[in-house]
Amino acid sequence: MLEFRPGADRGRLLDQVVRADFAASLGGLLEAFARQDAIGPAETADVMAAIARPSAPPGMVAAYAGLVEAIYGDQHDRVMACLEALVDAARRPPEPEIQFATLEDAKLGPGQAARYRALFDDDPAAPLGIVPAEPTGVDAGSALARSALALLDRAAPELSGEIRALLRQIVFVRSVDGDPADRFQGASVFLVWGAVLLNLEEQPDRLTMAESLAHETGHSLLSGFTRGRPLVENDPADRYRSPLRSDPRPMDGIVHATYVTARMHYCLERLLASDALDAVERSQATTRLATHRQAFGQGLAVVDAHARFTPVGQAAFAPARDYMAGRPG
């Protein structure tokens, strides 16, 4: 499962394993709440059936994360709200394909916009500075994402298959402040499994969108491999130069960034090997391919100098190193 080359089968297997882990933990909690009459048997059955399905909405995991936090905080009202959100998510009709949304409860479910924001925007030292996208923006982003996936279906079906297996929801937002050079582009977090957050302002065309989807699902892969745990044993307080950001990052973030740089390189390499790009896109992809190769080298130098990998972290990162070592140039 840890090989670098993507594939739909790997994506489906990882998704199944991760959801089974969440289901096992959630099942124990719901049994305890059922004994207290906080949730009924029908609601419990619906939740457990839904979270086991590949179409399980990411909001179920976000509500589970909120539930655990509320339990530890002894916050009864929040516990009940999270239980209600779980039932609501479980009883929503399954989406046949990837769902497109923004940070609003109307699409995500009761209280979910705040939960998503708290989970995605969890670094007080570097807030994302985002707001919900307008309906017209969501429509435009949805069309662009479909176009990007169709492009990958044609040129890199193994990558598009994996993306479709891992991704259930794209949440579009826009920036409100900050230096454009450091503007938020996208994010994925383990506790909103199956969703990615994308800044519409950073997705001008289908080529960029295809890279972004490869990028963010690369983070999802690594998080799934470790079940949300770090890839390294380095102190999270220590900071190092990042290949993708101007601000220093913890080593776990450096490893993630270096890995997804290789994945974006793979995406562009496959696109360039096809006849799916027009002349302008081919020129852009060629330039970006070289940029990703340079960024990977910069990240790898930091990783080699400082990373103290966990066993699974080493096993997950090594195939990306091997892939890039075999690239020409």
What DSSP string describes 254-284? HHHHHHHHHHHHHHHHHHHTSS-S-HHHHHH
How far is residue 160's CA from residue 154's CA, in Å, rounded to a whole number? 9
Write down the pLDDT at residue 34.
97
In a domain, 148, yes or no: no
In a domain, 47, yes or no: no
Residue type, 316: A
In a domain, 329, yes or no: yes
Q: Work out how many domains the chain is built from and give that number.
A: 1
Tokens coding 120 = 């995605």
pTM to 2 decimal places = 0.95
Predicted confidence (pLDDT) at residue 95 exceeds the cutoff of 90: no
In a domain, 152, yes or no: no
The predicted-structure confidence for 158-207, as pLDDT tens digits, reads as follows 999 999 999 999 999 999 865 555 678 999 999 999 999 999 999 999 99
90 vs 126 pLDDT, higher one: 90
**Nearest of 8, 57, 26 to residue 221 by alpha carbon:** 8
In a domain, 295, yes or no: yes
Tokens coding 113 = 């916009």
Most confident option among 115-129, 138-152, 182-196: 138-152
In a domain, 256, yes or no: yes
Candidate from 59-73, 174-188, 250-264, 295-309 with smallest mean pLDDT: 174-188
Give residue 291's domain range. 230-329
**Nearest of 49, 40, 65, 201 to residue 120 by alpha carbon:** 65
Q: How far is CA 189 from CA 175, 228, 318, 326, in A?
A: 19, 8, 22, 30
Tokens coding 105 = 């409860």
Helices H, strands E: what count in the chain? 12, 5
- 3-state SS, residue 245: coil
Rg (CA), the chain: 20
Write down the pLDDT at residue 178.
59
In a domain, 266, yes or no: yes
Percent of the chain with pLDDT over 70: 98
Write down the pLDDT at residue 241.
87
In a domain, 293, yes or no: yes
